[in-house]
Structures are given as C-alpha cells and as structure tokens.
Amino acid sequence: MPRPEPIEKEKLILAEGKDAYHFFCHACNFYRQVKNVQVMNFGGNDELPNFLSDLTNMDKFDEVNTIVISRDAETNADAAIMSIQDAIKHANNKNSANIPIPQESFKYTNTQKFSMKVAFMIFPGPKLKKGTLEHLCLSTVQNDPIMKCVDDYLECAKGKGEQLPRIHKNRLHCFLAGKSDSAGKPIGLAFKAKVWPPDHLVLKPFKKIIQEM
C-alpha cells in the first residue's frame, strides 16, 4: 500500500496511480509559475482512506492549506465523488482531522469557514458521468486525422476475434504509436511533449483548479 512521502509543500495534489501522478506533475509545470505544489500518488481508490489517514498524521500537515484529490469517474462520477468524500470522513474520524469535504467536483470548499481548502478533480471532466484520464487525453486529439486510422485498426482487430474490454486504453496507445517519437510513451510523458495540447478547452477546468490552488 502506498504511503505518503514527506510533506514538502503547502499545496498537495493526490492522484490515483502513476499515470495521473505524472500527468499532474506536468500540468503544474504548464499551469503554474510558482512551484509550490506537491503531487502524491495515493495508489488505487481503495487505498485512499488509509493514505489520507497517514497523511493527516505526518509532520507539516498542519502547514498544508490546499488539497486537491483526483481520480477517474470510471462508470459513475457521482459514486467516485462519494468514495472520495467517504475517504475524507474516514481520515477525519480516525485522526480527529478537520479536512473540509466538497459537495461537488471542480469547486473549492469555503475558505471563510476553514483554514484549508479542498477540491476534487474527476476525470474526464465536469458534467461527464463516466470515463477516465485516457478519455480526457483522447478528447484533446479527437479531430486528429489519424484517429480514423486508429478506430479502423481496432475494428479490424475486433473483427479478427480480439477482445478489447478496455478500448479507451487501446485507442490511446494506438494513437501514440502513430505519432512521431511517441510510440510507447506513458500518458504523462506524452503530456509533457504536448501530444495532449495543454491549452485545449477540455483541460480548462483542470487548469483552473490548479491555478487557484
């Protein structure tokens, strides 16, 4: 189970898995001039409650003024939000922490009531009820001419009997394979190389939360 690394910054992004971790590391480089945000990988969604409990017990937690938690919506964005809310409640109850709990995604808690502010970022974005980081990245390149080649190839593969239960991952890595110098790149490195355009409209809600930390 992942454990929090030592707290070094007053603003934290807690990301689900290594792909999201690297994605947000580069997002902070794109969207912030001040390098005062620390990104942490909390592992899988089931590990978030204990990760938060450990975090609240660490040195310098009392200096943290902003926490942003991000995960995939998967099949139900509302359930994803409730899962994060329950994880915060677990940490608050276990360690008498006082982490405020947002009631919706992409909106910070009231800073007049709490010394700390908290927000959730749910992939692939606000108002989308299901999806993942891969869906978000693919939406930034949906008009790229090679997407038709990607979909034609995957349809051909399915026609030959291949089972593709996680088609969003197949599409993403097939797309990267067709891009110069991007074959095999992880999502985060592709973002660093601006394969996923950082100024694309669909990334604006994520950019806003990061800039307002």
What DSSP string describes the chain?
A: ---PPPP-SSEEEEESHHHHHHHHHHHHHHH-SS--EEEEE--SGGGHHHHHHHHHTSTTGGG--EEEEEEE-BT-HHHHHHHHHHHHHHHHHHHT------SSTT----TTT-SSEEEEEEET-TT--SB-HHHHHHHTTTT-THHHHHHHHHHHHHHTT---TTHHHHHHHHHHHTSTTTTT--HHHHHHTTSS-TT-GGGHHHHHHHHT-
Judged against a pLDDT cut of 80, whether residue 29 lies above it is answered with yes
CATH number at residue 78: 3.40.50
Q: Are residues 154 and 70 in the same domain?
A: no
For residues 41-61, give the mean pLDDT: 96
Range of the domain at 147: 133-192
Please indicate, yes or no, whether residues 33 and 112 belong to a single structural domain of this protein: yes
Please tell me whether residues 98 and 201 are part of one structural domain: yes
Tell me the per-residue pLDDT of 91-143, one tens digit each, with 9 for 90 and over: 999 888 899 999 999 999 987 777 899 999 999 999 899 999 999 999 999 99
- Position with higher pLDDT, 67 vs 113: 67
Q: Do 126 and 31 share a structural domain?
A: yes
Write down the pLDDT at residue 110: 83
pLDDT of residue 95: 85
The reply to whether the predicted model has a pTM over 0.85 is yes
With respect to residue 5, please indicate whether it lies within any of the assigned structural domains. Answer: no
User: Quick one: average pLDDT of 147-163?
Assistant: 97
pLDDT at 11: 98
Number of domains within the chain: 2
Is 203 domain-assigned? Answer: yes
Average pLDDT of 14-32? 97
